[in-house]
Amino acid sequence: MERLMLLDGFGLVYRGYFALPPLTTSKGELVNGVFGFCSIVLRGFADLKPDYVAVAFDLSGPTFRHEQYADYKATRTKMPDDLASQFPKVREVAKALRIPVYELQGFEADDVIGTLTVQAEERNLDLDMLQLVTDRTRLMTTRSGVENTVLYDPARIRERFGLRPDQMVDYKALKGDPTDNIPGVPGVGEKTAAKLIAEFGTLDALYGRLDDVTPEKLREKLRDHRDQVFQGQDLSRIVRNLPVSLDLEAARLSDYDRDTVVRLFREYEFRTLIERLPSIGGESAAETAEALKEVVASGTVPAARVAGRPAGWGQARPPRPPPGAGELQLSLDFDTVGASPRPGATNGSSPVAAGDLAGALAAAIADPARIEVRDEAGIDDLEPWLLAQPAIGAALQLDDPRPRRGTPLALAVAGPDGRVVAVEGAPAADRLRRLVERTGVPLVGHEVKPLLVARFADDLDAAPTAVAFDTQIAAYILNAALRSQNIADIVAEQLDQILPPAADLSYAARAGLEALAAIAVREPLEAALRRERLDRLFREIELPLIPVLARMEATGVVVDHEALAVLDREFRAEITRLEQEIYADVGHEFNLGSPKQLEQVLFFELNLPKGRRTKTGFSTDASVLEELRPAHPMVEKLLEWRVYTKLRSTYV
């Protein structure tokens, strides 16, 4: 069965921008939206193996919905400049991949996709948007990785919402949509909206039998907001008859411009995506893998360029023989960025090739049960294995990250062989840590300093545990524009994999995945340090500083509690004096720490010049108050009050 994949371009770029960490190139260009788009498209190529691909984009400017409802999407903030600058890059990639672009002024990408789905069904194509789902139209989404793929067909929609696909517009009109600023009926949420539409069938039927609705309070709400609901219905309905035509030949996934795609990926530093590019016509999977490995290691591979095709496209590959009746399947839209395992990665309990740390990590993400969890009695048996390792990944989970404040929740170690062992609880974690220290095996971790602090807390004069690599420091050196990257950020950027949310994991699983992730990203980070000529800085300055700082944290500093108590009394006295003087200047008491009350006093009671406007009113920040200092005596006292309260709350 052939497949068509339609993409909501704006939606995918937005999801990449907001779901991924702020990935930037070494030149400081933000590219997380581009990365998200490319990752999802390549994943679709690999997982769905579509025969046809097209992308729809929104165009700037108002749509017909804004003409119907002036406040449509009015709550959305202006697109950030660093997101807007990424769309030209996305279009470049789409052109190099030979993905045709569909867009129409005055309409949204949803409407364009809706129109294309109608035309696709007319051509026996099986097909988003939940309201478009039919027996031949399906929506495939991925939420937080390969395990959370959802295929919405009519049965799945009924299971999820208790409704038919054609009822989704009425459902949305009742409950509203804050994203698009469609108000709905106040107090009517998902459950009530679904119950009403399931019972009455349609909005028209619901309002035709409004007297049957109970309780009375709900009935009156529906009556009072009738016009609003039907306006929401019009705004929610996807247009399906736009003057655009689906050109299947142009949409056929064909021999793309690999040379340009590779050049763009190199420019945007998407090295992990290069190996996921699809085959060019005639290549076997093995030939493609070998060619792309050469690309990653060195140069580029010439693209297939075929005369007679429109500029930007390529030679169409012959269609796969359909299994029956010439039917095709359309899969479109992906809800969030999720990464597919790299070549060699496996799921479940399948074996992973020795030394394939990225594959081992992908397998552990899919099945955290791969991580061995031992009790305290089984820790000493690990010594022979530890001694055989050139270095080990290590991750310590604490209930408080502050030095010498936290209690160990879990500790995990991971070897280059892909084995991961974790323990839970302070006694077991301390025992495993001391075993690692005795073996002398160097550590690889994401911020390994807490492990050294724990060692020095036991014995301040002890020799420091050897540190082979720290991924947090390496990532910072490579991109100092980001103050700090967590291990999940680095895994996403370097391995194109998504670690599960910490809240979804046990402490042992969390530590195990972080230990394995640290040792898995070591090699690409080391290569990046060498490439940027930062390896000596990392090796000769940063790594030797870790035990120095750890010993300082373990030693701590002496605090003069008596002196701080004196300062506390003095600051409180000054704060009280200033408050009383400000109240006298204004004529009444108010909350000096409340921006809203301060705005009322400054700009409406004292009629001082107004500063810049924010979403919630006029600004009362320090820069505005500095300009107002000569305008009224209370302003200078207010600034002084802020200094004393900040000093007292932060330091005393």
CA angle (492, 498, 499) in 5-degree steps = 115
Q: What is the dihedral of CA 87, 89, 95, 99, to 10 degrees?
A: -50
CATH dotted code for 1-162+238-338: 3.40.50.1010
364-376 pLDDT tens trace: 998 999 999 999 9
Give the DSSP letter of residue 185. -
pLDDT at residue 495 tops 60: yes
**Mean pLDDT, range 474-480, rounded to an integer:** 87
| Cα-based distances in Å from 279 to 254, 258, 288, 303 | 9, 9, 5, 11
Highest averaged pLDDT of the listed ranges 33-37, 386-390, 475-479: 386-390
Cα separation, 41 vs 7, in Å, equals 8
How much is the pLDDT for 250? 84
**Mean pLDDT, range 135-153, rounded to an integer:** 51
Q: What is the dihedral of CA 562, 568, 571, 575, to 10 degrees?
A: -160
For the chain, the 3-state helix, strand and coil shares in percent, each to the nearest 5, are: 50, 10, 35
CATH dotted code for 166-237: 1.10.150.20
Give the chain's end-to-end CA distance (angstroms, integer). Answer: 70
What's the token pair of residue 335?
């809800």
Give residues with Cβ within 8 angstroms of 225, minimum separation 6: 183, 184, 185, 186
Give residues with Cβ within 8 angstroms of 320, minimum separation 6: 2, 51
DSSP state letters, 30-96: B-HHHHHHHHHHHHHHHHH--SEEEEE-PPSS--HHHHH-TTTTTTSPPPPHHHHTTHHHHHHHHHH
CB 141 within 8 A of CB 335: yes
Give residues with Cβ within 8 angstroms of 16, minimum separation 6: 32, 33, 34, 35, 36, 37, 39, 40, 337
**Mean pLDDT, range 99-113, rounded to an integer:** 87
- According to CATH, the topology of domain 561-651 is Taq DNA Polymerase; Chain T, domain 4 (1.20.1060)
CB 279 within 8 A of CB 285: yes
pLDDT at residue 329 tops 50: no
Cα separation, 528 vs 533, in Å, equals 8
Cα separation, 359 vs 491, in Å, equals 12
Helices (H), 123-225: 154-161, 168-175, 190-200, 203-208, 216-224
Q: How many CA atoms lie within 13 A of 404 on its CB side?
A: 14
For the ranges 295-309, 347-361, 487-501, 559-573, which has the lowest average pLDDT?
Answer: 295-309
| Cα-based distances in Å from 123 to 2, 45, 246, 326, 329 | 12, 22, 10, 9, 11
Give residues with Cβ within 8 angstroms of 395, minimum separation 6: 411, 412, 445, 446, 487, 510, 511, 512, 513, 514, 515, 518
Q: Is 445 left (phi over 0), alpha (psi -120 to 50) or beta?
A: beta
Residue span(s) of the chain under CATH 3.40.50.1010 come to 1-162+238-338
| Cα-based distances in Å from 385 to 192, 354, 359, 466 | 58, 15, 21, 18
What's the token pair of residue 372?
């061995």
The pTM (predicted TM-score) of the whole model is 0.46
Residue span(s) of the chain under CATH 1.20.1060.10 come to 561-651
For the ranges 35-44, 130-139, 317-326, 575-584, which has the lowest average pLDDT?
Answer: 317-326
Residue span(s) of the chain under CATH 1.10.150.20 come to 166-237
429-447 pLDDT tens trace: 999 999 999 999 999 999 9
CB environment 478-517: b (16+ within 10 A), e (fewer): bbeeeeebbbbbbbbbbbbbbbbeeeebbbbbbbbbbbbb
Residue type for 373, please?
V
| Cα-based distances in Å from 450 to 129, 325, 394 | 48, 64, 11
Token match 């009924």: residue? 158
Class of domain 357-555: alpha beta
How much is the pLDDT for 340? 35
